[in-house]
Amino acid sequence: MIKGQARQIIGDGVLSGVIQRDVPSPRSGELLLGVHATSINFHDLIGIDGGIPGLPVPRVPFSDASATVLEVGAGVEGFAAGDRVIPCFFLKWERGPVDAGLMQPVLGDQVDGALQTHVCVPARAVVHSPANLTHEDIATLGCAGLTAWRSVVEEAQIRPGQTVLLQGTGGVSLAALAFARMQGARVIITSSSDEKLERARALGAHETINYRDQPDWHTAVLDMTDGKGVDAVVEVAGGETVGKAIQATRVGGHVSVIGVLTGFESATFPLALVMQRNLTVRGVTVGSREHLDAMCRAIEINGYDPVIDSIYDLGTADDAIAHVRGQSHFGKVVIRVGKD
């Protein structure tokens, strides 16, 4: 029996060493994938730390993957051995509006994920990768990249000349910067680090705000937009920042709430302002297979250069996780899993 390698969560916050596992055979409707690389998302840390109730232990974590099809199960069409692919975050959400029945299983949560060299997934939950990116680049797309794409392109429907406000310089915000620029938008970005803001400018941000120096950063945003506010916000922090994001948004604008980096406590925000300005405030949790495929095809046409902070390997995944926890990274932290 051919053996693969994996690392498992064996307790809250505890990752096993590298273990040997039998390589599975794909069942009807499945693909056997060889995983080249994965990347770490905030969602992964919540799961590793036991913050998502009911997840199995032990299990292989992580949803992001750049992979190659190794074997095609019975009844599968549209894929062949050797195809470069990305598995979806949600294994059942193919297209259309989401509902509760489509939000599980999640790769790396209810089923084993991408921190292993071989994994079987339903073919309905796989898309072809952009041909113009490396495996490390592709590994950044499935969760953070798609969340950014859906927020900016699918939900806010940003058009040339509009203005987008982004918070921080994590994986979602930097991906949103690239996609907003792809749409021809003006970008304002916030951070507590002047160094990171300079790097964001180098990537194409038009205006920057240090929120430690300007705690009422929403007023600075209004000043930058002649008092009107931005067309869309990608809100990653949660808590009190949601209210400021709403105050910084124009009449008829859109706020995508995609994260809770400041914690899970309830946000307090001006509900009357949401009504008066006719705002759309929408929760965004990654996206469907249809969204993922649209993003990948756009990347093939327009190009995309994801920001990768650092690259680790399977044996040093603990160090990669610790680096993300330290919050000093700029962009995505990638783990090489298998050989190219």
Whether 290 is in a domain gets the answer no
Residue 27 shares a structural domain with residue 91: yes
Same domain, 119 and 156: no
Q: What is the DSSP string of 31-51?
A: EEEEEEEEE--HHHHHHHTT-
Residue 121 and residue 182 in one domain: no
Domain shared by 222 and 330, yes or no = no
Residues 84 and 170 both lie in one domain: no
In whole angstroms, give the CA distance from residue 48 to residue 43. 9
Q: Would you call 73 exposed, middle or buried from its count of C-beta atoms within 10 A (0-12, 13-18, 19+)?
A: middle
Same domain, 182 and 256: yes
- How many angstroms separate the CA atoms of 330 and 307, rounded? 8
Do residues 9 and 88 share a domain? yes
Q: Is the pTM here over 0.85, yes or no?
A: yes
Question: Do residue 272 and residue 226 come from a single domain?
Answer: yes
Residue 12 near residue 49, CB atoms below 8 Å: yes
> Quick check: is 242 in a domain?
yes
Q: Are 172 and 144 in contact (CB under 8 A)?
A: yes
Q: Is residue 293 part of a domain?
A: no
Do 74 and 169 fall into the same domain? no
Looking at the 3D structure of the chain, how many domains does it have? 2
Specify whether 245 is located in the same domain as 330: no
In a domain, 100, yes or no: yes
CATH number for position 163: 3.40.50.720
Contact 32, 70 (CB under 8 A): yes
Together in a domain, 152 and 273: yes
Residue 296 lies in a domain: no
pLDDT at 240: 81
42 shares a domain with 109: yes
**Per-residue pLDDT tens listing for the chain (340 residues):** 689 999 999 998 999 999 999 999 999 999 999 999 999 999 999 999 999 999 999 999 999 999 999 999 999 999 999 999 999 999 999 999 999 999 999 999 999 999 999 999 999 999 999 999 999 999 999 999 999 999 999 999 999 999 999 999 999 999 999 999 999 999 999 999 999 999 999 999 999 999 999 999 999 999 999 999 999 999 998 778 899 999 999 999 999 999 765 555 666 778 999 999 999 999 999 999 999 999 999 999 999 999 999 999 999 999 999 999 999 999 999 999 997 6
Interacting residues of 10 by C-beta distance below 8 A, sequence separation 6+: 16, 57, 58
- Domain range for residue 33? 3-140+306-336
User: Is residue 212 situated within a structural domain?
Assistant: yes
